[in-house]
Structure 1
């Protein structure tokens, strides 16, 4: 379970950080704290990731970039983006563990990217 948690943190972090490489300010205005405090908004992003609901432009970019981000271990990501995404992913993992589990299984059914999660996040808990 811990490794699935780490995997999804990496998954979300890498995808968001790489969704628009070179566009440093693209996600600077996203208020992760506000999203985490707003259940409707947060679950909207979760449903987007799981193909269960509509996506915002940011959600769509995030979802579309997950496979590439996992493959290249976020080689083009900015540190600020990585930190923002770690914060957001931790929010989902800790507040909505069942949804987190569903996202992990959705994007890594073969469990081949779990090690990336351990490398990226270490052994963090809620």
Structure 2
């Protein structure tokens, strides 16, 4: 019984701590990422935005403001939808848009310290 009580207290303490971790805004979590990835007319402006080579929409500005930190922390402040979307985008860029992927890596992770993991994990064989 004591062990159960201790486990409950630790679980509650962990939940309270997790609730304090600041998160990125979830306002854009409902964006249809697969639709953007399947349409270059939609995808290219986002990529150019985060490369500082084009205009940014509000979601693009939000994305750009967190890319470096999200890479460095393995998306610690991301919502589940953001983690899923990030993996979709990275996988798509690695496998279908290598030129864009390489430009993004050169800009945000020139030493390949963080992106190497994603490349190994998400590259289609």
TM-score, structure 2 as length reference: 0.68
Aligned counterpart, 1:122: 121
Note the aligned Cα RMSD (angstroms).
2.4
Aligned partner of 1:21 among 8, 15, 23: 23
2:45–2:55 contact (8 Å) kept in structure 1: yes
1:48–1:55 contact (8 Å) kept in structure 2: yes
Report deviation, 1:63.
1.1
| Residue pairs, 1:31-110, within 5 angstroms | 31-110=32-111
- Going from structure 1 to structure 2, the CA distance change for 1:94 and 1:104 (only over 3 Å counts) comes to same
- Point out the structure with max Rg over C-alpha: 2
Greater relative CO, 1 or 2 (CA 8 Å, sep 6+): 1
Count of residue correspondences: 104
For structure 1, which runs of at least 5 residues remain unmatched after alignment? 1-19
For structure 2, which runs of at least 5 residues remain unmatched after alignment? 1-21
- Going from structure 1 to structure 2, the CA distance change for 1:98 and 1:81 (only over 3 Å counts) comes to same
